[in-house]
Structure 1
Amino acid sequence: MQPKLSFDRSSGWLRVKESKKKKIFDFSSEYLNFLNACKTERESVDFIKKEAEKKGFRNINGSRKLKSGDKVFYESNSKNIFLAVVGQPKINVVVSHLDSPRLDLKPLPLIEESGIAFLKTHYYGGIKKYQWLNIPLEMRGVVMSKGKKINVSIGEKDDLYFTITDLLPHLSQKQMEKKASEFVEGEDLNMIFGNMPSDSKKKVKESMLSLLNKKYGMIEEDFVSAELELVPAFKAKDLGLDRSMMGGYAHDDRSCSYALLRAVLDSSKPKPTSIALFVDKEEIGSEGNTSAGSMHFVNFLEMLKEKCSWKERINEILISGESISADVTSAFDPFKKDVFDVNNSNELSKGVSIEKYNGSGGKYYGNDASAEFFYRIRSLANKNKVIWQTGEIGKVDIGGGGTVAVFLAKLGINVIDAGIPVLGMHSPFEVISKLDLYETYRLYRVFLNEQ
């Protein structure tokens, strides 16, 4: 029989049966529930921990001895969480990130101008600032007040929105002459918070502080230590007349995070120890003690080694380990062909993207997987009939991007990127394919559940 010579780049929908399509749609529906419930890292960690505990995972700090098949989790600062299913002292690791581009409040954000109260913001991650104008926003996060942690969520559930207004087109002649990067300044991303003074003697700002104090017990000083995020208020939903796609906020990288969560929850007595890492701060370079660049993963591994009575040294476990960086990548946009290499681009509904390298220009600031390890992962995908594709984020000299893969590589672990192609990445409303989400889950599952 003559071998197939060409790489199959046909639509994944043409390669699946009707019975599998139902699984894809059911899986995607559950993902949308997660995406709408979890719009911050803290909410995501809470969700992951609850789902893990339902499946028998327990806090590693409360475990004295561990054996093969045991399931544990490790949480840090409510901003990252690691899950492990114990096997042999060889590790298969998949890491995703829970943070997404957004607007954070400044330390003292509340101001009043012309009878309107505003909250000043500091954008987080790489955004096109103009995309955050005139869209419905909500505020989520935590406030520390009087020694207590207060969860704050104001928006969709209260049947109210916030927004940052743009200039009307009738007065925008000079504005429209500016470059897109200068169209709106960061200091002008001020969210409308209120407009009604409580009486003739009080300003609107004072009325807003009174409302916050009444509902949450807050005073203005509490803003200083708060973690309050402004995120799009609209819900993620099916997209397209055929419902083959999904549109919403934070597919980057919660789509990969959800696929990873389901994969590790479905792991049962794998031969290697399966580890799922859900980290923070990727969008700002993985700086900070809840990021992939922190010591938490090594600390977690030390705890596993001790409680499992492994004889191997940590360095030996790391260097013999294998890992996948679970992050999204760019999807080809047919109306913006000038920034893509058409033959080396990922497309919607052609499966999980497995990328040998990332970075920018001459592969700067990126990971480059070895030929042997890429072959191992694509062979695993092919053996299990996972639909996959490969590509680059864009043309060589146009730009680029990196992932947390570099931080695992620094520990000596073999690592490759594999994730979901996204249209409109880093915008308030990103687009992904349901099929790509499901195939990404399948790749993570077979990798973590190897026997």
Structure 2
Amino acid sequence: MTKQDFNEGLLGFLDASPTPFHATQNMAGMFSNAGFIELNEKEKWNLEAGEKYFVTRNDSSIIAFTYPKNSKEYLMVGSHTDSPNLKLKPNPVVKEHGIVKFAVEPYGGLLLNPWFDRNLGLAGRVNYSDSSKAVKSALINIDKSIAMIPSLAIHLDDKANQDRTINRQTDISPVISCNEDFDFEIFIKNELAKMGIKDVEELYAHELSLYDTQNASYIGVEDEFIASARLDNLLSCYVGMLSICSIPNDKPMLFVANDHEEVGSDSTSGAGGSFLESTLKRMFTDFDDYVAMARSSMMISADNAHAIHPNYPSKHEPNHAPYINDGIVIKINANQRYASNSTTISTFLANAKRLEAQTQTFVTRSDLGCGSTIGPITATKIGIETIDIGLPTWGMHSIREMAGSDDAYELYNILVGFNI
């Protein structure tokens, strides 16, 4: 696969995955097309050596794995499907001052300022009853600009460029209509009908998020960068997905993409839940085999890393400030916010050197807070040696982030050629 083919596929995946539900659906489709067999957690598994499988939970998390059966040295790659965004509240419609707005709640630690004056679409999961009273669910993606959060004019806020703050309750409600007869349930039913789902009696609940309708694209005079929403962490999801699809069936590898990392991972489908652990225990039913596998394997927790910002270089640790398009970033933190240790770092570096791949090191400034990943959580729950790595990016948690057009392809080549 060429870098251009890789990146074109990445842009398409980003545009087609406005929510964790859609990302998981798209990855499941990719795995099915690549010959992976779908499993159901509610059913008995009869795994056969030499096959490859995938399983989803909550429609928003996914695990795929090869099954050599007797091999216990697995390379595992972990990522997350969720990104900071604005979610609709359960009763989302607000009608006042002659317009209709959506009431929203920030999800995760998002940068709010860039959400103003953007064309916003709506996507997610809805649950409803049909005429037989059965409860069903469907994914919807209203891929058009239905909303915008207008800024307050500079004339009405003369300190906007000095010390403007944003009230998360009152300042970020998107405007959607002037029609005060707008009915949210009818609106959703109409959208479902456009998808061919017409037997909808009552809308019960929804998990819907606003998203920027601007497509992912190349940036730079020589296309050096990629700009898109949700690079954190669909970038790693895409790399992990393609990597496991590219290796032979007899190579032991597992890929997991969890939901809810941005809010702490404590959910049934998050890394703090049982999804990965229960999957591994069904793969290795003998406890001794399970422990031997966990202690013989390695987890690469792949998330984004802060590239040195050319306009704010003082925000970075001088000797540990990664550059975009200059190699994969190894993330280290003395207080275990990242799970990297000298053993896993050395294993990764040895593979990178063998594959002639560049690497960099990130350590946050000691006077700034440090984010975390699924790495320490997975290492704690499974007992697997783990390294946290990342792709260098700017604008993390903004509505539109930037990364290099070389780095994701570089990580793909490392993962495909990796030996524990």
Length-normalised TM-score, structure 1:
0.84
Give the Cα separation in 2 of the matches to 1:152 and 1:66: 33
Matches within 5 A, 1:379-390: 379-390=350-361
Distance change in 2, residues 1:135/1:303 (3 Å):
same
The answer for the alignment partner of 1:335 in structure 2 is: 311
Structure 1: any 5+ residue segments left out of the alignment?
Answer: 1-21, 197-202
The answer for the alignment partner of 1:292 in structure 2 is: 271
Distance change in 2, residues 1:312/1:233 (3 Å):
same
Task: Give the deviation of 1:409 after TM superposition.
Answer: 1.6
> Is residue 167 of structure 1 aligned with residue 152 of structure 2?
yes
- Contact kept, 8 Å, 1:115 with 1:204, in 2: the verdict is no
Give the Cα separation in 2 of the matches to 1:33 and 1:190: 29
Give the Cα separation in 1 of the matches to 2:290 and 2:406: 38
Q: Which amino acid in 1 is paired with 2:151? A: D
Task: Give the deviation of 1:214 after TM superposition.
Answer: 3.9
Give the Cα separation in 2 of the matches to 1:262 and 1:390: 25
Matches within 5 A, 1:99-138: 99-138=82-121
Task: Give the deviation of 1:320 after TM superposition.
Answer: 2.3
Distance change in 2, residues 1:220/1:402 (3 Å):
farther
Distance change in 2, residues 1:387/1:116 (3 Å):
same
The answer for the alignment partner of 2:12 in structure 1 is: 33
Task: Give the deviation of 1:325 after TM superposition.
Answer: 0.3
Give the Cα separation in 1 of the matches to 2:98 and 2:278: 52
Task: Give the deviation of 1:24 after TM superposition.
Answer: 1.7
> Is residue 153 of structure 1 aligned with residue 134 of structure 2?
no
Distance change in 2, residues 1:220/1:299 (3 Å):
same
> Is residue 367 of structure 1 aligned with residue 338 of structure 2?
yes
Distance change in 2, residues 1:45/1:68 (3 Å):
same
Task: Give the deviation of 1:317 after TM superposition.
Answer: 2.1
Larger radius of gyration: 1
- Which whole-Å deviations, capped at 9, do the CAs of 1:122-181 have from their partners, x for residues lacking one? 01011122221111111001211222323322233xxx3411111011111255554x5x
- Contact kept, 8 Å, 1:367 with 1:409, in 2: the verdict is no
Give the Cα separation in 2 of the matches to 1:269 and 1:141: 33
Distance change in 2, residues 1:211/1:124 (3 Å):
closer
> Is residue 230 of structure 1 aligned with residue 213 of structure 2?
no
The answer for the alignment partner of 1:419 in structure 2 is: 390
Give the Cα separation in 2 of the matches to 1:37 and 1:101: 17
Q: Which amino acid in 2 is paired with 1:70? A: E
The answer for the alignment partner of 1:397 in structure 2 is: 367
Distance change in 2, residues 1:348/1:139 (3 Å):
same
- Which whole-Å deviations, capped at 9, do the CAs of 1:1-39 have from their partners, x for residues lacking one? xxxxxxxxxxxxxxxxxxxxx922221111101101111
- Contact kept, 8 Å, 1:175 with 1:183, in 2: the verdict is no
- Which whole-Å deviations, capped at 9, do the CAs of 1:213-237 have from their partners, x for residues lacking one? 4444799983x62010111111110
- Contact kept, 8 Å, 1:332 with 1:347, in 2: the verdict is yes
Distance change in 2, residues 1:209/1:78 (3 Å):
closer
Distance change in 2, residues 1:311/1:204 (3 Å):
closer
Task: Give the deviation of 1:425 after TM superposition.
Answer: 0.7
Give the Cα separation in 2 of the matches to 1:211 and 1:314: 49
Q: Which amino acid in 2 is paired with 1:172? A: D
Give the Cα separation in 2 of the matches to 1:248 and 1:368: 28
Percentage of pairs with the same residue: 24
Distance change in 2, residues 1:212/1:293 (3 Å):
closer
Task: Give the deviation of 1:57 after TM superposition.
Answer: 0.4
Give the Cα separation in 1 of the matches to 2:48 and 2:316: 49
Task: Give the deviation of 1:64 after TM superposition.
Answer: 5.2
- Contact kept, 8 Å, 1:209 with 1:220, in 2: the verdict is no
SS of 2:123 mapped into structure 1: strand
Distance change in 2, residues 1:214/1:371 (3 Å):
closer
SS of 1:190 mapped into structure 2: coil
> Is residue 266 of structure 1 aligned with residue 246 of structure 2?
yes
Give the Cα separation in 1 of the matches to 2:28 and 2:348: 28
- Contact kept, 8 Å, 1:129 with 1:186, in 2: the verdict is no
The answer for the alignment partner of 1:93 in structure 2 is: 76
> Is residue 251 of structure 1 aligned with residue 251 of structure 2?
no
Task: Give the deviation of 1:67 after TM superposition.
Answer: 4.2
Give the Cα separation in 2 of the matches to 1:372 and 1:151: 43
Give the Cα separation in 2 of the matches to 1:347 and 1:50: 34
The answer for the alignment partner of 2:132 in structure 1 is: none
SS of 1:374 mapped into structure 2: helix
The answer for the alignment partner of 1:204 in structure 2 is: 181
Give the Cα separation in 2 of the matches to 1:211 and 1:277: 35
- Contact kept, 8 Å, 1:86 with 1:269, in 2: the verdict is yes
Distance change in 2, residues 1:57/1:304 (3 Å):
same
SS of 1:99 mapped into structure 2: coil
- Contact kept, 8 Å, 1:142 with 1:151, in 2: the verdict is yes
- Contact kept, 8 Å, 1:161 with 1:233, in 2: the verdict is no
Give the Cα separation in 2 of the matches to 1:85 and 1:225: 36
Among 50, 59, 62, which residue is 1:69 paired with?
50
RMSD: 2.3
The answer for the alignment partner of 2:347 in structure 1 is: 376
SS of 1:277 mapped into structure 2: strand
Task: Give the deviation of 1:319 after TM superposition.
Answer: 2.3
Distance change in 2, residues 1:151/1:311 (3 Å):
closer
- Contact kept, 8 Å, 2:105 with 2:168, in 1: the verdict is no
Task: Give the deviation of 1:59 after TM superposition.
Answer: 1.9
- Which whole-Å deviations, capped at 9, do the CAs of 1:159-210 have from their partners, x for residues lacking one? x3411111011111255554x5x334344221112112xxxxxx4344x554
Distance change in 2, residues 1:284/1:311 (3 Å):
closer
Q: Which amino acid in 2 is paired with 1:151? A: L
The answer for the alignment partner of 2:377 in structure 1 is: 407
SS of 2:124 mapped into structure 1: strand
SS of 1:185 mapped into structure 2: coil
Task: Give the deviation of 1:44 after TM superposition.
Answer: 0.8
Q: Which amino acid in 2 is paired with 1:352? A: I
- Which whole-Å deviations, capped at 9, do the CAs of 1:53-88 have from their partners, x for residues lacking one? 111100234785434431011111111110001130
Distance change in 2, residues 1:364/1:205 (3 Å):
farther
Give the Cα separation in 1 of the matches to 2:357 and 2:216: 26
- Give the stretch that moved more between structures: 367-376 or 57-66: 57-66
